[in-house]
Amino acid sequence: MPAISPERSRWFARQILPHEPVLRAWLNRRLASDLEADDVIQEAYTILASKKSVDDIHNPKAYLFQTAYSLLVRHVQRSQIVSIRAVADLERLDLAAEVATPEQVLIDRDELHRLAEFIADMPGKTQEAFVLRRVHGLSQREIAERMGVSENTVEKHIVKGIRLLINRFGRGGKHNLGASKGGEAGIGDLDARARDKSDS
Amino acid sequence: MPERETSQTVDDAAAEWAGRIDRGPLSIEDEAALETWLRDDVRRLGALARAQALFDSTDAARALGRDFEPAAFKPATPAKTSRRQLIRWGGGALAASVAAGAAGLTLSSYASRAYASQRGEIRLIPLDDGSAITLNTETRVRVRERRAQLLDGEALFEVAPGQRPFVVSVPSLSISTTTAAFVVRAIAGEPVSVLVREGAVSVDGRDGPVRVGPNQTFALASKRSAVQPVDPATLSRRLAWREGKIAFEGETMQAAAREFARYSDMRLIIDDPDLAREPISGLFAANDPVSFARSASRSFGARLTVEGRTVRLSRAMSPSQS
């Protein structure tokens, strides 16, 4: 079985990953010291990836936060370290109001620029392989022929590219790729946006 | 309890699996190894999902176009880079052929520049003022500072705020804005249309200026041009081309075939008039009319034949009444 279907992967890219920086910031402010935000995020993604269907998730952002939150609660119960802050302000996030809009599912200019810059920053051969794979759409085998190297070598370059991607756009990365303006917004910004909405 | 891996280690291994999966179908041994790996730590599947999703989302890099030059995007100082790049390109072109008239590039950035996308190509053109134009298939534009002429085709304009308004002209219309994201479509045989995703534009045509706001569309009509709201689903459908897709929602098969013709050299011919009028919905890869025809043939019980660069859909031998 392929672990994750292409549809689910696309759903992650569009509906979930854009919210990761906000989720990470939110987690970092409330985590007990023995748990890392990335542990929680990975585990939350496992739950989302194992769901049979995500069609019933109307508000992916809210769902993501709720999932992470329930993991936190479980951890708090297990470790008996009481972290009040974890519990207090989930509601303040105003999750229900944040329904995905069409522009959130589009890669906009800034993100495409960021992607171009990210590729520009890759080391030589990795960059070459990555450009052939992503910009020109060649398969790993075709790239091996084109570059005159083994398929294993191409795979290593692609893996390296993915690693760089994770470090830049996931994990500690402050950037995000693949959608939503305001994906980098902190909670304060969310509140501000909610205010803007009520003004207009 | 065994030592717990760091999330970084999990991510590294996830990257390796994502790279392996991208290579092609997994061998039986690999599949078993992946299954074991996934089972042993609850974070791993999530990490793999993220790695794959991140990698998938870089598919958008296709919009950078086949002549994408990574060096031009070196993060250093963008403004300087673009100037140097301009000179370098100009210089190269000069060496290659003075007669081509490329010399103008090195002398002045005031000259207008022409850009075109080929059939099936999506092309992103970053402009000096921070605005950007994305060309859909077979589109030609001419740009000079904050003035653009859409000669033919369809393009998304993402206009950064600036001192002066940004003006897009098409035959019969001009569209101006201070900042907005909008699509202009000027395709032979179709009325010119403007679709605004963000911000607002002023469309100046025969009937005088009309304001078109976010989630609204303007279509030039012989009697009365009209501004109409678009719902979010329609909006994202009409922008699906940015990801190399075509989306239909109840269009006729005939219209769908016409749309596919814009993106590839394959010709889709629908032999039966009833079939041509059948409505179709779905999201399809723009460069793959054969897959589209195949799923249409299944839905309508039609016969599919492929000869060279022609795909033909016809009614099954015996008229089907299913």
Domain-wise residue ranges, chain B: 7-62, 65-111, 113-236, 244-315
Kindly indicate the confidence band of residue B241, based on its pLDDT and cuts at 50, 70 and 90: confident
Q: Provide the β-strand partners of residue A69.
A: none
In this structure, of A75-89, A102-116, B137-151, the range with the lowest mean pLDDT score is A75-89
CATH topology of domain B244-315: Phage tail protein beta-alpha-beta fold (3.55.50)
Measured from the Cβ of residue B307, the count of other Cβ atoms closer than 10 Å reads 7
Share of chain B above pLDDT 90, in %: 31
Contact with chain A for residue B1, Cβ under 8 A? no
Short-list B185, B191, B193, B90, CA closest to B134: B185
pLDDT score, position A105: 34
pLDDT score, position B79: 38
pLDDT for B109 beyond 80: no
Distance separating the N- and C-terminal Cα atoms of chain A: 49
CATH number, span A109-169: 1.10.10.10
With contacts defined as CB-CB under 8 Å, which chain B residues touch A169? 54
Short-list B121, B196, B13, CA closest to A103: B196
d(CA A173, CA A196): 27
Distance separating the N- and C-terminal Cα atoms of chain B: 62
Q: What is the DSSP letter of A136?
A: S
**Is the Cβ pair A45, B18 closer than 8 Å?**
no
Nearest CA in chain A to B59: A134
pLDDT score, position A15: 86
Q: pLDDT averaged over chain B?
A: 81
Q: Are B176 and B202 in contact (CB under 8 A)?
A: yes
**Is the Cβ pair A46, B42 closer than 8 Å?**
yes
With contacts defined as CB-CB under 8 Å, which chain B residues touch A2? 21, 26
As given in the structure block, the two tokens for residue A46 are: 């496992």
Measured from the Cβ of residue A34, the count of other Cβ atoms closer than 10 Å reads 9
Q: Are B175 and B195 in contact (CB under 8 A)?
A: no
Q: What is the DSSP letter of A16?
A: I
**Is the Cβ pair B45, A109 closer than 8 Å?**
no
Q: What is the DSSP letter of B164?
A: S
Nearest CA in chain A to B52: A9
CA B63 vs CA A28, A111, A133: distances in Å: 35, 12, 13
Q: What is the DSSP letter of A13?
A: I
d(CA A33, CA A86): 12
Q: Are B106 and B89 in contact (CB under 8 A)?
A: no
With contacts defined as CB-CB under 8 Å, which chain A residues touch B161? none
Kindly indicate the confidence band of residue A198, based on its pLDDT and cuts at 50, 70 and 90: very low
With contacts defined as CB-CB under 8 Å, which chain A residues touch B52? 3-4, 9, 12
Measured from the Cβ of residue A88, the count of other Cβ atoms closer than 10 Å reads 10
CATH number, span B113-236: 2.60.120.1440
Q: Provide the β-strand partners of residue B209.
A: B204
Contact with chain A for residue B235, Cβ under 8 A? yes
The ipTM (two decimal places) reads: 0.75
As given in the structure block, the two tokens for residue B1 are: 């309890």
Q: What is the DSSP letter of A163?
A: H
pTM for this entry: 0.51
The 10s digit of each residue's pLDDT in A155-169 is 999 999 999 999 887
Contact with chain A for residue B40, Cβ under 8 A? no
Q: Say which amino acid occupies B74.
A: K
Q: Do β-strands B166-170 and B147-159 pair in parallel, antiparallel, or remain unpaired? A: parallel
For A:57-96, CB contacts with B below 8 A are: none
* Alpha carbon A22 to its chain's center: 10
pLDDT for B116 beyond 80: yes
Average pLDDT over residues A11-37: 79
**Is the Cβ pair B57, A13 closer than 8 Å?**
yes
pLDDT score, position B308: 84
With contacts defined as CB-CB under 8 Å, which chain B residues touch A9? 49, 52-53, 56
